[in-house]
Structure 1
Amino acid sequence: MKKILDSIVIGGGQAGLAAGFHLRKNGLQFLILEANNQAIGSWPQYYDSLKLFSPSRFSSLPGMKFPGDSNHYPMRDEVILYLQDYTKHFQLPFMTNQQVVSIKKNGEEFTIHTLSGDTFQSSTIINATGSFHSPYKPEIKEQETFRGHVLHSSEYKNPERFMNQRIVVVGSGNSAVQIAIELAEVSTTTLAVRQNVQLIKQKFLGQDLHFWLKVTGLDTFPFWRFGKTIGTASAVIDLAQYKERIAEGRPNQQPMFTSFYKDGVIWPDGKKEPVDTVIFATGYRPSLAYLRDIGALDSERKPLQVAGVSTSVPGLYYVGLEGQRSFASATLRGVGSDARFVVRKLLPYLKT
């Protein structure tokens, strides 16, 4: 007979590791299931030049500081090494190549089935998968007629393959700006936006923006307690003279195009412009189909939850959802606080 664990954590990225830390701290029997071959989440799949918007001192998981200069802004590969070291340091129990495909609930117990054919049982589940594998691309008129290339920012790695092209990057958030700035060095690049990019200074009175967010409490302020829906901030932190580069037209901004045509895009004024590549930096959507059968999702396939606690399935919890409890919830600096909160909610449930 299979052992029934206290908890199964689905996802071995930053959210799953933070959950594992707090489960271990509370002496619970648990296992982290990771779909990939190592517990570092989706970081290896992000673009090569990705840089955190928060310095090292504000980018740590619980129990282990991010190494190096506390004022340094870590790059993607530094985060990967940190997550690898974190897993080894705390000896968190995890199994790789375990993609969850379905979950059943039998009374008070969950049964988790994975693509590899394995089955696991637990009293609770913490879903910590993120949404990188469910990129969102809006439907644009006549897109099927376009003969150029269309991709999502999740598929972008570096500017090498885009040299001397005409490129449109759709979006006005952090990833859109970082990618467009990089591409503008090697290609003619435009940001297609619904609203102009809103830039905020990286430092104020000599301190990083995240210092002020932390000391004022705004970064992790529990807006959910007041029935407020939290989204990601639309402003982009100006890491490297973004304001000056955009003002110089490297890249330029234009209102979102209204349609594709076979050779390019059609702008709101009706002008047709040939384009080689369109990159949608338009975010992600939750990909939680395996939770559907237990009634955990709403009609839009979003989790029914408040502050990471399922409102429809007792014993089900979340860490790493965008805006779950605060602006920082889906970030390295925010998942630790949310994981601690969720595990505290989980403990009384196990005793019932």
Structure 2
Amino acid sequence: MEHADLIVIGAGQSGLATAALAPRHGFPRTLVLESAEAPGGAWPRYYDSLTLFSPARYSSLPGMRFPGDPDRYPARDEVVAYLRAYARHVDAEIHISAEVTSVTRHDGGWLVSTVDGRQYSARAVVAATGDYTGPHVPDVSGRAEFAGRALHAADYRSPELFAGQRVLVVGGGNSAIQIAAELGEVADTSLVTRRLIGWMNQRPLGRDVHWWFKHTRFDTAPLRRLLVKVPVSVLDDGHYRRALEEHGVDRREMFTRLTPDGAMWQDGTKESADTIVWATGYRHTFPYLEGSGALEADGRPRHHGGIATNVPALGFVGMEFQRSFSSKTLRGVGRDAAHVLARLR
């Protein structure tokens, strides 16, 4: 059995930021356990055209600047390359292909087991797998009857496979807008939402919104209770709204049910559809913590600001609105990691 002061589960942006900061918070030996074959978290699995909604200057992890023009919006592959370079920079041992199956209390600390039977012990654990491992699809009436193709945004890569089809993209967030905009070039596409799309100006008064968030301290911890009540907004400088209009992507109210051939709308009309893309977000999922006492009955973690409230020496990093608006972002995970590590000592 291998021992460490701290075990971090996940080598995405949250886990890597946590590992980088661990030595200065009293954890000289840190192990990072990553289920994939390389660091990078969920980023390598995102759709091909994904670009950040934050400029490079606001997309850095602690101690390593995001390279290149600081005012550009990096693409997916740039983020993956940055994270893997950062992993080489981190003073921690990273074990890849190490899927964690259980985390249990052991001799006053934690025992962590992986799918291949390896075991590790540590006095503290940080769960940094976020929520991108749990794609959410709403329980819509008739969903099981639909005979066309249905996939979550987590499984969408590029528009070519959908050329000439009738596609419904369900969701009103950033990913839904990006996917619908590019599908509109090759397919008859509609964006299906429960409410009007909440557009937010990407560059008010010529400054990126992340500049305003930083300098007004809008995304700091005291505001987190307010922020979770704010409706989902789409950051856009006008590019995506123009793309939707140019490609004829219309917005439709949420259908009442699915049929074998497509969807039924609120006025009773039916429409055929070849594909439904569920851009409906994710839910927290920490299956390796089941039985640890750290989870609610529905699987959500019991925590305050990322510190487990029911068990000792367990933290979380990388959850949406964990402490602020920027939690779960490249810019915000370092701040949350420092907060958690300082309270795990």
Asked if TM exceeds 0.5, the reply is: yes
Cα contact 1:232–1:323 (8 A) shared by 2: no
| Counterpart residue number, 2:122 | 122
Once residues 222 and 60 of structure 1 are traced to their aligned partners in structure 2, the CA distance between those partners, rounded to angstroms, is 23
Question: Cα–Cα, structure 1 residues 247 and 186, in superposed 2: closer, same or farther, change >3 Å?
Answer: closer
What is the alpha-carbon distance in structure 1 between the residues aligned to residue 130 and residue 149 of structure 2?
27
Tell me which amino acid in the other structure corresponds to 1:263.
D
Give the aligned residue type for 2:313: G
When the two chains are superposed, the root-mean-square deviation of aligned CA atoms in Å is 1.6
Aligned to 1:306: 304
C-alpha deviation, 1:4, in angstroms = 3.4
Q: Does 1:267 align with 2:265?
A: yes
Q: Which residue of 2 aligns with 1:350?
A: none
The letter of the residue matching 1:12 is: A
Q: 1:68 corresponds to which residue?
A: 68
Q: Which amino acid aligns with 1:52?
A: L
Count of paired positions = 344
Match of residue 165 from structure 1: 165
CA apart distance, 1:206: 1.4
Which residue number corresponds to residue 20 of structure 1?
Answer: 19
> Quick check: 1:168–1:192 contact (8 Å CA) kept in 2?
yes
Aligned partners of 2:81, 2:240: CA distance in 1, in Å? 28
- Summarize the Cα distance change of 1:3–1:232 in structure 2 as closer, same or farther, 3 Å threshold: farther
Given the alignment of the two structures, is residue 37 of structure 1 paired with residue 37 of structure 2, yes or no?
Answer: yes
Superposed displacement of residue 24, structure 1: 2.7
**Following the alignment from structure 1 to structure 2, what is the Cα–Cα distance between the partners of residues 38 and 235?**
32
TM-aligned CA distance change 1:232 to 1:310, over 3 Å? farther
1:86-123 deviations in whole A, cap 9, x for unaligned?
11123431101111111210242110110011000011
CA distance in 1, matches of 2:21, 2:230: 25
Offset, 1:75 = 0.3
* Contact 1:233 1:327 (C-alpha < 8 Å) held by counterparts: no
Cα-to-partner distance string for 1:37-91 (whole Å, 9 max, x where unaligned)? 1111111100000000000000000000000001010000000110111111234
* Alignment partner, residue 330 of structure 2: 332
How many angstroms apart in 1 are the aligned matches of 2:161 and 2:70? 34
Contact 2:53 2:73 in 1 (8 A): yes
Using a 3 Å threshold, how does the CA distance of structure 1 residues 344 and 131 change in structure 2: closer, same or farther? same
Per-residue CA distance 1:137-188 (angstroms, 9 max, x = gap): 0111112221111110000000010001100000000100100001001111
After TM superposition, list the pairs within 5 Å mapping 1:48-67 onto structure 2: 48-67=48-67
- With over 3 angstroms needed to count, the CA separation of the structure-2 counterparts of 1:69 and 1:233, relative to structure 1, is farther
User: Could you say which residue in structure 2 is the equivalent of 1:175?
Assistant: 175
Aligned mates of 1:159, 1:116 — CA distance in 2: 37
Quick one: distance in 2 between partners of 1:147 and 1:3? 49
Alignment of 1:77-156 (within 5 A): 77-156=77-156
Distance in 2, Cα, partners of 1:246 & 1:158? 17
Work out the CA distance in 2 between the residues paired with 1:123 and 1:231: 36
Q: Distance in 1 between matches of 2:206 and 2:227?
A: 32
- Percent identity, aligned pairs only, is 42
Q: After TM superposition, give the deviation of residue 198 of structure 1 in Å.
A: 1.1
The one-letter code matched in structure 2 to 1:45 is R
Are the structure 2 counterparts of residues 99 and 169 from structure 1 closer, same or farther at C-alpha, using a change threshold of 3 Å? same
Shift of 1:219: 2.2
The question of whether the paired residues in 1 share the 8 Å contact of 2:40 and 2:84 is answered with yes
Stretch deviating more after TM superposition (122-131 or 236-245): 236-245
Q: Report the 3-state secondary structure (helix = DSSP H, G, I; strand = E; otherwise coil) of the residue aligned with 1:154.
A: helix
Conserved 8 A contact 1:181-1:250: no
Q: TM-score, normalised by structure 2?
A: 0.96
- 1:231/1:53 CA distance change after superposition, 3 Å: farther
Match of 2:223 in 1: 223
8 Å CA contact retained: 2:17, 2:333: yes
